[in-house]
A and B are shown apart, each in its own frame.
Chain A
């Protein structure tokens, strides 16, 4: 039964979120059954992308490129730099950072120390931790931001004047106006920021500002400040592959703008399972209530002494 199956998945996801802290206690990347396999890291994907023949995407009725579809996740990784090893004999996965070429986030010295402080206080039992319980990944409270929302995929749809993204995870949605409208004042801050989109040739470019800086980029303490400007570039590079490039510009925190590169695959493309032909509900996105079952995790992390993460404000130059 589809419903039984979905209930099991819902319970599993809820358990994963609520036990997030515990599951990472081993220090190993935790991949829930059925979640997206890791896509290629940045270096591999850029090399693959360079070999692709030129591709002209299909068009919407109004002539804009048609990027619609259900797109699989950017990664199941919990570390955008993929520095962690699953075990001592296995090399780390490849970083999703494409620029700089060394795959490392170009933090200013103070900011790297701050990131390392977050990491040392995760209390997961891995080497280098202080043992202090500092912060837990805010995503374990069912929260998202940019670009982390893309981690487990989304459906993208285009209607006049808007691009809309819809997630199953946590019932998030993102409404991206394309009419070059104004932005809220800089003091108005949002968890998901405020996006503004435009077409640049065949690519959709989304620039987001007005972030509150309370969300991490991953589960190991990588962060941005509330001053960040995040530019996402979506381009169809073949029928079932969306190139997803994210540039993070936050001069108070980093020495240069830096870029994440992901390959997103169309859901159902190339996989087995039979899709809608076998299960008429296969293309439906059923409710993922998250916060509603998360009380024990919230109470538990508070009880253990973890603090609420407050935004990092860069020192004045």
Chain B
């Protein structure tokens, strides 16, 4: 993955990116027995990015919302913008969510379901309610395995930068979308996620999206994650494909 490093470095130094970045939260999280910042618990977004990551008005069954994309614009290549528009027009049948496939990263984060973070010494695990999706973020020193590999959830390798969990994700399929509005990517997607504790019950979630086949430059999303503070908060189950198979079966 050597060829990504200059890009990441360049992005990190781009004033436009820095300008939009929230000030580093002055919060020191507790530590796990292994000495890592403890970000364990049940988290969920409270926004409308699942429907559309950009600013959007309401429509039937779609709540209005401000987007989560920095500057609101997504730098599509011209032909890719055409495809996005076609995706939007045919979203009822084309959206991979309607097939109950694994959602990909970062879409899984801002779907309207909770997820639980469980930390180990050599990996951070994210257990999502949606489709019992399980993600291992390896911190065992192994680099990304050699590609190309088409994985629905990509290959996640993490590291701590201070109290921030930084996750580098590659090896995606081109079959997942970024939201229900047809925003998409190719198999060349490269995602860098940053999970920064901002208080006992909040984290800042920032995402860098890079995909030279679809976008003219890297771009960024950010949003807060909220801890589910109910005393018996629990990740239950949303067995999407089980419900879908049963419903379609009974329609025949």
- Residue numbers of A with Cβ under 8 A of B are 1-3, 6-7, 61, 141-143, 157, 159, 162, 164, 166-167, 170-173, 175, 177, 181-182, 184, 190-192, 194, 214, 280-281, 283-287, 289, 291-292, 298, 302, 307-308
Asked if B236 and A284 make an inter-chain contact with CB atoms under 8 angstroms apart, the answer reads no
Name the segment of B14-22, B213-221, B240-248 touching the other chain: B240-248
- Residue numbers of B with Cβ under 8 A of A are 33, 40, 100-102, 116, 118-120, 125, 127, 131-134, 136, 138, 140-142, 145-147, 149, 151-153, 175, 231-232, 234-237, 239, 241-242, 245-246, 249-250, 252
User: What chain A residues lie within 8 Å of B102 (beta carbons)?
Assistant: 171, 289, 292
In the assembly, what is the distance between CA of A61 and CA of B35, in Å? Answer: 14
User: What chain A residues lie within 8 Å of B118 (beta carbons)?
Assistant: 157, 159, 162, 164
User: What chain B residues lie within 8 Å of A170 (beta carbons)?
Assistant: 132
> By DSSP majority rule, is chain B's interface helix, strand, loop, or mixed?
loop
In the assembly, what is the distance between CA of A7 and CA of B145, in Å? Answer: 12
Report the minimum CB–CB distance from B32 to chain A (whole Å). 8
Q: A171-B132, A281-B142 are in contact. Are A143 and B127 (CB under 8 A)?
A: no
Asked if B145 and A2 make an inter-chain contact with CB atoms under 8 angstroms apart, the answer reads yes
User: What chain B residues lie within 8 Å of A281 (beta carbons)?
Assistant: 142, 145
User: What chain A residues lie within 8 Å of B127 (beta carbons)?
Assistant: 164, 166, 173, 175
Asked if A159 and B242 make an inter-chain contact with CB atoms under 8 angstroms apart, the answer reads no
* A–B pairs, 13, beta carbons within 8 Å: A6-B145, A141-B242, A159-B40, A162-B118, A164-B125, A166-B136, A181-B232, A192-B237, A284-B140, A285-B136, A291-B100, A308-B249, A308-B250
Q: A143-B242, A191-B239 are in contact. Are A284 and B142 (CB under 8 A)?
A: yes
Asked if B152 and A280 make an inter-chain contact with CB atoms under 8 angstroms apart, the answer reads no
Report the minimum CB–CB distance from A14 to chain B (whole Å). 12
Asked if A291 and B241 make an inter-chain contact with CB atoms under 8 angstroms apart, the answer reads yes
In the assembly, what is the distance between CA of A240 and CA of B102, in Å? Answer: 34
* Beta-carbon nearest neighbor of B117 in chain A: A159
